[in-house]
Amino acid sequence: MGYARRMAKRPRSRTAKATEFTYLYDDRRLTVDDLTSFQVVVAGEELTRDPGVIRVFADNTQFAKWIGDTEQGARVRGILDVVKRGVPRARRDEAWIEEIQRLAFKTARSTLQGFAKTLERDVKDEEVIRLAMVERGPLTPKVFDPMLLYDRRIEREPPTGAPEDPRTSWLPVWSGFWPDLGWPGWNDRARSARVFGLNILCENTWFGGRWAWLIGFNMLLNLYHLNFEAKASSVISQ
């Protein structure tokens, strides 16, 4: 059973209590303030091997070596290879890439909103997420996969749902999207996330700067736990 599912079984408290994580560089304990000194921060049991641990690495090369010859390690190395070899070539057609990414975001948002409308629910409602992804049946199209970004913190800790503030805006980032977050108007805006699958938040455009690797199935996370709140400028979603 995944981390987010175990968290969801815990009773809700009226008073939010901060989730406690252990931050590790090798075996050395760090504080959340220390994370900005490292290029890579990693969250999610399938990557860190412990749901209560967030690991940091000097760079992606060190992370790829640490994760080794595992299933996730192969995915990590595949992503890094695309960034090294494929992204420079893609940047030659930057205007066209931006145009199709904007179109893809428009379609993703419209599809998820339409799905919520069939249920007569708000798009952030847990029932929408449950039926769209968590308990999706074989005859239900996959309309959402794998991450939602929110521009406000999730009020409850540990998180059990989307931010409750009605002013919250959301951005769906579907599997296969590698966007500059400025294109949909989300540069340095994300404050929390709901994760399905493997996703990376990057501090700079075109996947530069610090990286936050996230993996989970319906994993909810306030990004200040990674010292990544309102700092993401591009995303890799697998």
d(CA 178, CA 94): 12
Going through the chain in order, the beta strands assigned E by DSSP cover 22-25, 28-30, 40-43, 53-57, 146-150, 170-174, 192-202, 211-222, 234-237
Domain count, the chain: 1
Indicate whether 200 belongs to any domain. Answer: yes
Longest dimension (CA), the chain: 52
CATH number at residue 146: 2.60.20.10
Average pLDDT taken over every residue of the chain: 90
Which domain range does residue 153 map to? 3-9+19-237
Tell me which amino acid residue 186 is: W
Residue 198 lies in a domain: yes
Determine, yes or no, domain membership for 163.
yes
Residues in the chain: 238
Residue-wise pLDDT tens digits, 145-179: 779 999 999 999 999 999 999 999 999 998 888 99
* Residue 14 falls inside a structural domain: no
Task: Kindly give the confidence (pLDDT) of every residue in the chain, 238 residues in length, as a single tens digit, with 9 standing for 90 and above.
Answer: 333 333 333 333 344 556 789 999 999 999 999 999 999 999 999 999 899 999 999 999 999 999 999 999 999 999 999 999 999 999 999 999 999 999 988 998 899 899 999 999 998 899 998 998 888 888 887 777 779 999 999 999 999 999 999 999 999 998 888 999 999 999 999 999 999 999 999 999 999 999 999 999 999 999 999 999 999 999 999 8
148 Cβ contact partners less than 8 Å away, ≥ 6 residues apart: 162, 170, 171, 172, 173, 193, 194
Give the residue from 129, 156, 124, 144 showing the smallest Cα distance to 221. 156
Residue 210 belongs to a domain:
yes
Domain assignment present for residue 223? The answer is: yes
pTM for the model: 0.89
